[in-house]
Amino acid sequence: MTSGILNVNKPAGPSSFAVVRTLRRLPGVVKAGHGGTLDPAAEGVLPILIDGATRLADFVHEWPKTYVATVTFGFTSDTGDREGSLTAAGDPQAISRERIEAALPAFTGRIEQVPPAYSALKQGGEALYRKARRGEAVEPHARLVEIFSIRLLDYDPALAVARIEVNSGRGMYVRSLAQDLGVALGSGAYLSALTRTALGPLRLADAVPMATLTEAGEGWTRWLLPMDLPLHNWPAIALDAAGAAAVRRGQAVPAPDTMGGRYRLLGPGGELVAWGEADASRRIQPRAVFSG
């Protein structure tokens, strides 16, 4: 089974799951999933996790994300982006580069953010966007998100359109950020375009178009990145053949005397056998074991 991560350049249009469905048909792929949803209208870096890498999705979600957001002032959208119904709101002529730059620092650090009503977040076991499309009243709850940095790239006063670069942690909605910025400036705003330029070590400049992958036949694997990429900063334990066999049976192995936390457990050939956590008895308990 071939396992690893594909850095896919998602185009605007298909959903993230539609990209997964397409790439599941690549020769030799058994399982596939994505490592961080992009809305259909958004484009850019979309990690696709192949086979064993699907078990590392939680760690991909921990990677910081960088976006370039195009924000249009003077209107609001019921979905927060250009896919929704637009309503005129406020005077975009009152917006300037200086006012935007003055407002942005309030959105850095750990902030409370209300997710969009049209989002995949679940309430009562059902995605909010399904409820919203049926016309049901949807009231998403505010939650803490973290924005590491935010800066204005450029502003066109004639169109009242700004381009803003945002680096954030997991769970931050750029649509909500655009709406909140519009509220702060008293003009209304919506997200008119979005590109994810980086996710962890994955960069847009290195991302592969879907068409390139689907047209490559058996050769698609040349773009496959190592499965353990999300764990590269973790300490590693090199196992001999007996130790690797024990871990594959779910048995614990000794941990270094001075270190706790999470570990990569590598086989004699350097392959990822499992990841595990050290317990109080200084034994590393396997949490996920990968076929060898």
Give dist(CA 17, CA 200) in Å, integer.
20
pLDDT surpassing 60 at residue 243: yes
Decide which of 3.30.420.10, 3.40.50.2020, 2.40.170.20, 2.30.130.10 is the CATH code for 234-289. 2.30.130.10
The secondary structure of the chain in percent helix, strand, coil, rounded to multiples of 5, reads 25, 35, 40
Give dist(CA 137, CA 116) in Å, integer.
13
Please, which pLDDT band fits residue 51 given cuts at 50, 70 and 90? very high
Which position has the token pair 């945002």? 166
Q: What is the residue-averaged pLDDT of the chain?
A: 90
Min mean pLDDT across 37-41, 46-50, 145-149, 253-257 is at: 253-257
- Greater confidence (100 vs 233) lies with 100
| pLDDT in the model for residue 128 | 47
- Greater confidence (124 vs 155) lies with 155
Residue-wise pLDDT for 154-190, tens only, equals 999 999 999 999 999 998 999 999 999 999 999 999 9
Which position has the token pair 């764990």? 231
Tokens representing residue 27 in the block: 């020769």
**For residue 213, how many C-alpha atoms fall within 13 Å in the half-sphere facing its CB?**
23
| pLDDT in the model for residue 161 | 98
Q: Which residues are catalytic?
A: 39
| pLDDT in the model for residue 259 | 64
Please provide the CATH number assigned to the domain covering 4-63+201-227: 3.30.2350.10
42-49: average pLDDT: 97
- Is-same-fold flag (4-63+201-227; 65-190)? yes
| pLDDT in the model for residue 78 | 86
Terminal Cα distance for the chain, rounded: 9
Domains of the chain by residue range: 4-63+201-227, 65-190, 234-289
65-190: in CATH 3.20.20.70: no
